Amino acid sequence: MAVLGDIGTYLDGATIATTDLTLGTNLFLGRMPDAPDTCVTVYEDSGGVPLDTFGADSAPPIEQAGVTVHTRAAAYSTAQALAVDVMKALSKVINETLSSTAYYKIEAIQSPFAYDRDQQDRMLFSNTFNVVKAL
């Protein structure tokens, strides 16, 4: 499975203090729909260069993918808390297998930040992650 699906599946099963996340209900991949008000969307983003390791392989075996997570809620504090909770959940991924792929580490590049309000005046937060995983 691709990184987007792996992380979506992981978050669907993770304990998120602010609200339980369910794929297709309040957790989305690649597109944020108009409803519901409170939701999380995961997007693929640019990452780092693949990492070479010793050996005869012709392709680098370690990928540094990028993922951006947007959270949305009517209240600033709810969107912020949800963004922090998602960051905490993803930061727990260290040397785990997600959907049969080895994930060495998922780390936030910065703390979640408020970046906009949508057309319905709902608050949007964003956070970007570096995802180090096997190819």
Per-residue model confidence (pLDDT) at position 67? 97
Reduced 3-state DSSP string for 40-66? EEEEEECCCCCECCCCCCCCCCEEEEE
Beta bridge partners of 102: 97
* SS3 (DSSP) at 38: coil
* pTM given for the model: 0.91
pLDDT higher than 70, residue 75: yes
pLDDT of residue 50: 75
pLDDT in tens, 43-71: 999 888 777 666 656 656 888 999 999 99
Fold classified for 3-22+38-51+60-134 = STM4215-like (3.30.2000)
pLDDT on residue 55:
63
pLDDT tens figures, 90-127: 999 999 999 999 999 999 999 999 999 999 999 999 99
Q: What percent of the chain has pLDDT over 70?
A: 93
